Structure 1
Amino acid sequence: MTHGLKIRPATRHDVPALVRLRLANAERHVQLAPEEFRVPDPLAVRWHFEVVVERALISVAELDGEVVGMAEVVPLPTPPDHQILVPRRGADIHTVVVDGHRGRGVGAALVAEAERVAAAHGVEILFAGIFAANEDAVRFYARAGFGPRGIMLSKSLG
């Protein structure tokens, strides 16, 4: 674990750092699978975080006053009564740690905090969607206790 690391809820003050993290993460994913990922418009990303930061389930990792990572828990709709799935409150988790701080416990601390935050908000299951060949992400989430759950199939229509 990185000495002096502080994990805390994101605030309005963190919006520029959240934008920087989202865009850096997008650039990394575009390198992995340009047919699946894009770098979003920075203004749209900024608007998103400005609107949701106060009510969203976002935690940041701060080291020496600099935000070096984030974890965002995005609640999903509960399956409706007519479906066969047992209704469990689920959420997606998105974790980003900047280059130079990976492999030092920052991501693990963010995931642990995201799990606490999610559980406190009634979330029963977290999903870590990995939509490209990204063995680093698979290993990272597997070390945090995530494992396969069924198979998600997709088909592009156009």
Structure 2
Amino acid sequence: MSILVRDAGLPDVPTLVRLRLANAERHVQLDPTIYRVPDVEAVRRHFEEVLAPDSKVLILVAELAGDVVGMAEVILLADPPAHQILAARRAAEIHTVVLDGHRGAGIGAALVSAAEHAAAERGVTIMHAGIFAPNEGAIRFYSAAGFGPRGILLSKEQGPPAD
């Protein structure tokens, strides 16, 4: 069966919500201290907003035999401000979801390839794929697509302010 990757539209919102929630449930199993299952209505509103023509988010879906089985969300980032030391390069974040039972069939690779092409058409020269838990599958997937380490993101948990 061939994989069709296309731009998402408003009729895809219920499926996009289902994909986001399935992805959230899978991530909560990885680390419930980092991930959560978001409110269904908030997810629906998000996708309705980002499917607007002037959005800074690109949503692509992958169809297999007429069923949507995956999506890629590409968030176009603002250029670094002139006062920062980073060279001005158009960047984007990518988030990819493929439903259980369809992984390993090239769907994710097709989504990433189409997302990279769509981002490049918008001037993006660097893509980021953030992985915030020991998700070896995601690391293998994005590494196979050519992603690699770029710097280090440090974080620190903070308690409430001292009185």
| TM-score, normalising length: structure 2 | 0.93
Cα deviation, residue 77, structure 1? 1.5
Q: Give distance in 2, aligned partners of 1:120 and 1:91.
A: 12
Aligned to 1:47: 45
Q: Give distance in 2, aligned partners of 1:137 and 1:53.
A: 26
Aligned to 2:81: 80
Q: Give distance in 2, aligned partners of 1:5 and 1:110.
A: 9
Q: Partner letter of residue 51 of structure 2?
A: V
Cα deviation, residue 54, structure 1? 3.5
Aligned to 1:117: 118
For residue 149 of structure 1, give the secondary structure of its aligned residue in structure 2: coil
Q: Give distance in 1, aligned partners of 2:76 and 2:45.
A: 19
Q: How many correspondences in the alignment?
A: 156
1:35 to 33, 36, 40: 33
Alignment of 1:93-132 (within 5 A): 93-132=94-133
Aligned to 1:13: 11
Q: Give the alignment's Cα RMSD to 1 decimal.
A: 0.8
Q: Give distance in 1, aligned partners of 2:152 and 2:2.
A: 39
Unaligned 5+ runs, structure 1? none
Q: Partner letter of residue 139 of structure 2?
A: V
Q: Partner letter of residue 121 of structure 1?
A: R
Q: Give distance in 1, aligned partners of 2:81 and 2:42.
A: 31
| TM-score, normalising length: structure 1 | 0.96
For residue 38 of structure 1, give the secondary structure of its aligned residue in structure 2: coil
Cα deviation, residue 50, structure 1? 1.1
Q: Give distance in 1, aligned partners of 2:43 and 2:33.
A: 20
1:55-113 deviations in Å (ceiling 9; x for gaps): 33111001111100000100112111111111111110000000000000000000000
Unaligned 5+ runs, structure 2? none
Aligned to 2:68: 67
Q: Partner letter of residue 7 of structure 2?
A: P
Q: Give distance in 1, aligned partners of 2:2 and 2:85.
A: 47
Q: Give distance in 2, aligned partners of 1:72 and 1:140.
A: 16
Aligned to 1:24: 22
